[in-house]
Amino acid sequence: MPGQDRLGLDALAAEADDLARLRVPAVLLFGLPASKDERGSGAWARDGIVQDAIWRLKDANPELLVIGDVCLCEYTSHGHCGIVRPAGSVDNDASLPLLAETSVSLAEAGCDIIAPSDMMDGRVGAIRAALDGAGFHEPILSYAAKFASAFYGPFREAADSAPAFGDRRGYQMDPANGRMALDEVLTDVGEGAEMVMVKPALPYLDVIRQVRDAVDLPVAAYNVSGEYSMLMAAVQNGWLGRGPRDRRDADKHSAGRSRYRHHLSCETVGTATISPRTEAFPSVCHLPG
């Protein structure tokens, strides 16, 4: 992903200062642990990479809103988003307690918003119950309509989280089934999600519109790594112009297509590179162990 870097923990204080200067109000954190195992135990470790990063960011910039991604794929040795059975399928129900424990550990570290992206059935309810039981009332931003997509490829390379076998179609959504997206969104809202997300963004503008009409909650659209990389490839090859202004215009138009047409919050990779006037867009940080 051109212009994007993994950030070490020692770089976070300076990054927090830069984000404040650029008036970026929020970050969404993804961690790269030093080691992985079959259960993804680094996801809920109290001294885990993201938990440590939250503390450092908050210490450097107390006003920064920190969103914690909740998934096991970056932490499992097999690259799947949940516990894997011996036969190779993902065990949905066995994964829920681990996702809930991860969410509580992020809240304990100071995370402001919990954002489950794993797509296990029932995970919003399990996370809400665990947070409430531990005395935390942080809102849940659910990746409610997350479609299986090749557009996640650059992120998986950056996070070293591609599945070692099979794929994620068993728990991520069928790209051709828009009606299922609404079912998933309404299910997550019923389980306690305070915000919902459609991911990827640009291929699913019709779904975003339907979700916006169906729920009276904040709706997020995630402009993912493949969308960003595709746009940057066009800029670098001169198909959209070659100058910095051409890149900024392309970024803004891409994000704005989702945001302004549908009155959304918009998450986008590479936010801080767009413009000093991107107040509504969170930045995405990858944190290597």
With DSSP H G I counted as helix, E B as strand and the rest as coil, what are the percentages for the chain, rounded to 5?
45, 20, 35
Which residue of the set 36, 58, 146, 252 is catalytic? 146
> Looking at residue 15, what DSSP letter applies?
H
Strand, coil or helix: what is 190? helix
The question of whether 146 is a catalytic residue gets the answer yes
Assigned token pair, 62: 């107390």
Give the CA angle between residues 3, 102, 266 to the nearest 5°: 40
Which token pair is 191?
Answer: 């389980």
Cα separation, 145 vs 151, whole angstroms: 15
Q: Give the C-alpha distances (Å, rounded to integers) separating 133 from 114, 142, 167.
A: 15, 19, 34
The region, left, alpha or beta by phi > 0 then psi within -120 to 50, assigned to residue 173 is beta
Supply the DSSP symbol for 282.
P
How far apart CA 148 and CA 169 sit, in angstroms, is: 6
> Contact at 8 Å (CB) between 113 and 68?
yes
**Token output for 15:** 């990054």
Walk across the sheet containing 219-223 and list its strands.
141-146, 195-199, 219-223, 265-268
Active site residues: 146, 199
